[in-house]
Amino acid sequence: MTMAIPPPLSGLINDSVHRRVAATATHHAPGPVCTNGLPASKQYQAAYQINDYTVLTANANNWTSYAIKQEWYRDHFISGPHVMNFGHETNPYGPFKCQYTCNAADNCSAYFVWYEDVGTSTEHMNCVLFDAVIPPSVFVQTNGTITAGAYDRLCDHSSA
């Protein structure tokens, strides 16, 4: 399934400082397509259910603004950023909506969510889809954004 993206963002990815750089999806570096863990809905209190994914953050590093290493991003990129008009105050509503974008995409195993233009009238959420679960080792610190986290598909969420 191909998803429409606003023209200024089409075919672009973010590197470690969220600059826009051209990229194409590549699948030469297969990775795990699911993981074990608690559903995101059990990791924090929220009215929005995210039961098929677990959320990973860089909280251990005390980072609120981080991205995914460019090489890993390029190797596992499916599509995005899918721009949604949700501000960080609505979190986890944005990641809740992004799960449906991932569910609708072929081979989507994870998604990454961050907010840009924080505190302005143009604040928005970005959602990028990947074909492998996102390991925390690929997080790199940035600034100027608020990151909601990496959401990795669970292998069997019914037992978590």
User: Does residue 22 form part of some domain?
Assistant: no
For 37-71, write each residue's pLDDT tens digit. 888 887 776 678 888 999 888 877 778 899 999 99
Which parts of the chain have pLDDT scores under 70? 1-30, 45-46, 157-160
Strands 77-84 and 66-68: unpaired
pTM: predicted TM-score of the whole model, two decimal places: 0.77
User: Does residue 135 form part of some domain?
Assistant: yes
Q: Which domain holds residue 84?
A: 31-159
User: Does residue 4 form part of some domain?
Assistant: no
pLDDT for the residue 30: 66
User: Does residue 10 form part of some domain?
Assistant: no
**Tally of residues, the chain:** 160
What 3-state class would DSSP assign to 51? coil
What domain count does the chain have? 1
User: Does residue 71 form part of some domain?
Assistant: yes
User: Does residue 89 form part of some domain?
Assistant: yes
